[in-house]
Amino acid sequence: MDALNAIWAAVTTPVISYDLTVHTSLDLVSIALGSAAAIGLGRMIYKRWSES
């Protein structure tokens, strides 16, 4: 369960920080890329974790 919580935090943190501050379109792109990377990493971790 700790792995899932870590994944959730990685995905939601960029969204929360975006809500609190004003960003340019470049920041939006980096948030989108960061979220996509976090989701991809999370799926990889989840697959390995569920297989073992």
Structural domain for 26, as ranges: 2-51
Q: Which phi and psi angles does 41 have, rounded to 5°?
A: -65, -40
Instruction: Identify the segments of the chain with pLDDT beneath 70.
Output: 1, 14-26
Global pTM value = 0.43
Q: What pLDDT is stored for residue 30 in this prediction?
A: 84
Between CA 44 and CA 22 the distance in angstroms is 32
Q: What pLDDT is stored for residue 39 in this prediction?
A: 92
Q: What pLDDT is stored for residue 20 in this prediction?
A: 56
CB 9 within 8 A of CB 39: no
Alpha helices in 1-52 (DSSP H): 2-20, 25-51
Dihedral angle computed from the Cα positions of residues 12, 41, 39 and 17, in that order, rounded to the nearest 10 degrees: 30
The tens digit of pLDDT for each residue in 17-27 reads: 655 565 566 67
**Number of folded domains in the chain?**
1
